[in-house]
Chain A
Amino acid sequence: MKRRKRLTGWTPAVYLFLLPVVFTACSSEDEASEAIAALEAEYEGGREAISEKQDSLPEMSEDPDSAELAAFRAASEARNLEYEALTETFVPRYEALADEYWGTGAGLEAKIWAMSRAARPVRGEEEEEGAEEARAAKIAEHTDAIFDEYGQSPHIEQLAENSYLFNEDQAEHYLGQLRESSPHANVRAAALYYPASRKLSRLRFEEPEEGTDPRAEIDTDLQLLIDEYGDIPKDGSTYGALAYAHLTAHSEEELAIGQPAPAIIGTTVDGEEIRLSDFLGKVTVIDFWGDW
């Protein structure tokens, strides 16, 4: 009888051999996460030190011609410049961290951080002609490098989340590529969700071009997210729930004074169910808040 080489089922020895490889991969992810958390803490500390000076800002005044208002503006502009100088000193540090941990999730996070700072116009300076194109070219260069390393990685979801960095053509190109060819559902979901969400927020401020119906296109993508990626987690929610919220968002009329408040069904941070209707019979203040 001919013996066939077994293709499946590696011997235990092979598993043992792989163990250190897996272990090293995990520990470098952990190490990278720790490194970026430390750098973030240091950056935030620097920002806090600057914002504490806020207390000494002159009084804000309503009078447009007052000396107080001019002083307030000057002081807050000076503070913004301080923030910017601080950020400048951190860009090379984030870049170095990205290089050191290139290939890990935190490495990509650091790269995107540095890239997003490079993508902003310099405050208070008149832009030279072509500056916008130059920035876009820089973004493209970084993004190509990211695709080389992370194109097939689930971590590249982060890039889709930050798609505001791209101009329209770039968004189309890069996110289209992720939607079509990423092997990871979380990446394909993000590449659908973030551009849709961004287009929606643009529609709040801009009238759509005559004869176009951007909303129909957006809704198709949102529906696709619900149907195909409903269960893919995003923060403490899912892409499906987020897409559904956009698709069924309340209109201004529904949220007007005199209207019955729409239902809210959710959970507390501990996972207990809570409903707005629990508070019927009481005068109720709803406070959308965050600790920042």
Chain B
Amino acid sequence: MYPHERSLVSRLAEEPFALVGVNSDPVEKYRTAIEREEITWPSFWDGGSTDGPISTKWGVYGWPTIYILDHEGVIRAKNKREEAMDEVVDQLLEEMRGG
């Protein structure tokens, strides 16, 4: 996941695009991971466990779980990874520009 997400974030740095995490790690583990993997994007911190309030509220019981939203905040895709994620994101950016 990390290398793909890193390249996606850097490729779209100038675009109206955001990657936002909801992280389920204990604090120390999270800090180590963002350092080691050079994670620059923000994350909600879900209390340090997979049973955190955000995951619970969203019914997330498997990780990673992905939601892709358009610029109006509408859910447009779920669990698309790697190239499939790129495709959806590019398409939504295109759509936003009125393409």
Query: A residues engaging B (CB < 8 A)?
Result: 197, 201, 204, 234-237, 241-242, 244-246, 248-250, 252, 255-262, 264, 266-269, 274, 276-277, 279-292
Contact = CB atoms under 8 A, between A and B. Distances in A.
Contact of A255 (B16, B75, B85): B75
Given A237-B46, A266-B44, A280-B72, 17 more contacts: A235-B26, A236-B49, A237-B53, A245-B53, A255-B58, A258-B76, A266-B45, A269-B31, A274-B20, A279-B20, A279-B69, A281-B16, A285-B67, A285-B68, A287-B65, A288-B24, A289-B43
13 contacts: A235-B26, A241-B53, A267-B44, A269-B31, A279-B69, A283-B15, A283-B96, A284-B68, A285-B20, A288-B22, A288-B24, A288-B66, A291-B32
A250 B75 CA distance: 14
Contact of B64 (A250, A274, A289): A289
Q: How large is the interface on B (under 10, 10 to 19, 20 to 34, 35 or more residues)?
A: 35 or more
B50 to A, nearest CB: 7
A242 B92 CA distance: 34
Contacts of B32: 291
B34 to A, nearest CB: 8
A40 to B, nearest CB: 13
A283 B17 contact: yes
B22 A286 contact: yes
A216 B1 CA distance: 40
B45 A267 contact: yes
B48 interface: yes
B78 A257 contact: yes
Nearest to B59: A249
Contacts of B53: 237, 241-242, 244-245, 266
Contacts of A245: 53-54, 56-57
B75 A235 contact: no
A165 B3 CA distance: 38
Contacts of A234: 47
Contacts of B15: 283
A280 B93 contact: no
A237 B72 CA distance: 30
A267 B96 CA distance: 29
B24 A257 contact: no
Nearest to A234: B47
A274 B44 contact: yes
B39 to A, nearest CB: 9
Contact of B47 (A235, A248, A249, A264): A235
A269 B30 contact: yes
A261 B19 contact: no
Contacts of B33: 291
B75 A289 contact: no
Nearest to A286: B67
